[in-house]
Amino acid sequence: MAKAIVIGAGFAGVEASVQLARAGVEVHLYEMKPHRFSPAHKNENFAELVCSNSFKALRVDSAAGLMKEEMTRMGSICVPIAKECSVPAGGSLSVNREDFARMVTEKVESFENIFIHREEVTEIPKVGKDADAVVIAAGPLVSDALSKKIEELCGDSLHFFDAAAPIVAGDSIDMEYAFAASRYDHGDDDYINCPMNKEEYEAFYEALVNAEGAPQHDFDKRKTGYEGCMPIEVMANRGIGTMRFGPMKPVGLRDPKTGHRPWACLQLRRETKDGDMFNLVGFQTNLKFGEQKRVFSMIPALHDAEFLRYGVMHRNTFINSPKLLSADYQFRTVPGLFFAGQITGVEGYMESAQSGLMAGLNAARFIKGEEPLVLPKTTIMGALASYISDESVENFQPMGANFGVLPAIEPKIRDKKERYAALSARSLQYFEREE
């Protein structure tokens, strides 16, 4: 019987293990708990929830809900178990975290061809020698020993801290209050510039310095500051003019509406080639998500912006996947070695689970000599796989499920609810053809 090794029994690891086991592969699943716990983990069971107990929306006309429906049709174990142990939470899928972890563990243990090893892995197993395929699903709090080995494999493409600025949908930027240009006209109008006058800037500053920050775990806190990824609210607290000499400096820009340099200016940078997602340059932040929406929407061009992901500042080891992984989650230079979970740059419980599902499925196909399965970009799962493997992506940061990663429907549907319903229907058509 063919053999696979899966490292880590979080959301990604359990999904990968089950996909491999269903394909008739002998799976050796390694989990260092309970012999060693990361700073965030307390429960010895698999798929432990360390923060929120919510898996976000259930309705299929939402990105999170659509992804869970796609996962269900692909044979996920996490989604049906979550529904089985759900607790009342309005339109979202929230669970009793103890029951969920216990039930996932019992499900994995029920497979006769999954062998569980409660021990820490300190070396990356070799494909062809130790196993026919290897899936690394060690999570963002991977142990120091294994992290060093991953760093050796990835070179300078391993990140130890997630300091990310918000990302907004390109079609939600109000260009009546913005203009495309590069500083000093260098480049091809690569940035969207969001100018502010003195009054607008000062109101924005007051709101920012008084906004509420998100709580941090002890393992998220750093002993020393890192100027290169300073939260924008920390920068603002150094003085009212600090942002104007930093990420909001207007130097080299001329607002075509006034013919003058703005008082302050936020630049937006493309996340993808087609310009459907834009990053708020220099706006790394640790504000609560609701506060980010409230305060950053005070910038005139973003008054009705759709935030596809909010800024975060926390410990989150992840690899620079666009340089390293293919869309089947396979390491480009080491055939048979797969990565899955948050370490690949997908963000969220179920996002991690779906990446593990696809990595496990494709590891099984690799063992059997079959072509990998890559879902179309019109699905949330396929779009996330495309995003983490897109070599054109610059300044790569983790991404969760959102409709901004899907290709647009033409002609454009302006009503948001109708547009989301159409995107969802298009995705599910693929799975209906496959059934």
For 287, list phi and psi in degrees, rounded to 5.
Answer: -70, 155
Percent of the chain with pLDDT over 70: 90
Say whether pLDDT at 191 is over 80: yes
The pLDDT score that the predictor gives to residue 39 is 57
**Mean pLDDT, the chain, whole residue set:** 89
The pLDDT score that the predictor gives to residue 216 is 59
What ranges do the domains of the chain cover?
A: 3-163+314-434, 167-310
The pLDDT score that the predictor gives to residue 223 is 35
Say whether pLDDT at 42 is over 70: no
**For residue range 102-160, what is the model confidence (pLDDT) as tens digits?**
999 999 999 999 999 999 999 999 999 999 999 999 877 778 889 899 989 988 766 65
**For residue range 61-81, what is the model confidence (pLDDT) as tens digits?**
999 999 999 999 999 999 999
Interior CA angle at 246 toward 205 and 189, to 5°?
A: 105
36 to 32, 140, 352, 385: CA distances (angstroms): 6, 15, 22, 31
For the chain, percent helix, then strand, then coil, each to nearest 5?
A: 35, 20, 45
Comparing 47-61, 291-305, 366-380, the range with the smallest average pLDDT is: 47-61
pLDDT band at 41 (very low <50, low <70, confident <90, very high): low
Distance of CA 82 to the CA centre of its chain: 20
**For residue range 86-110, what is the model confidence (pLDDT) as tens digits?**
987 778 898 888 899 999 999 999 9
Q: Which fold has domain 167-310?
A: Elongation Factor Tu (Ef-tu); domain 3 (2.40.30)
Region 325-337: mean pLDDT is 98
Comparing 261-270, 349-358, 367-376, 394-403, the range with the smallest average pLDDT is: 394-403
The pLDDT score that the predictor gives to residue 226 is 41
Percent of the chain with pLDDT over 90: 67
Distance CA 347, CA 182 (A): 31
The residue ranking higher by pLDDT, 196 or 51, is 196
The CATH number corresponding to 3-163+314-434 among 3.90.850.10, 3.40.50.150, 1.10.3720.10, 3.50.50.60 equals 3.50.50.60
Distance CA 342, CA 361 (A): 18
Say whether pLDDT at 197 is over 80: yes
**For residue range 7-40, what is the model confidence (pLDDT) as tens digits?**
999 999 999 999 999 999 999 999 998 876 655 5
